Structure 1
């Protein structure tokens, strides 16, 4: 997926994605597990305090690069 978002337009953009590379630069990310939101925040915040997000990130990193973090 390729898209460009212009900031300052007073609009909200909602992107639903399975690949974190699509959304890691978003202002706010919501992680859902089995329906409910289990974590929310920016990419760095979620890596630091959300085990599920960190595990998903590491799994995708290994899958895409073949290198363990």
Structure 2
């Protein structure tokens, strides 16, 4: 299910995590060549992606919200 990004935070290992409108979180790593997301490395890049839809597997699975 597609969900928009509404914010970001860093996890315990300092990786960027997108906060989705549905209440789930999803890592958004820039780790070439597997994941090419250079936008995640700057504040302007992350801000430019607010509202972008990501596929939320947790919604598809009916998982409880990460952010109650």
TM-score computed with the length of structure 2 as normaliser: 0.27
* Larger helix proportion of the pair: 1
Bigger RCO (CA 8 Å, 6+ sep): 2
Asked which structure has the greater CA Rg, the reply is 1
* Larger strand proportion of the pair: 2
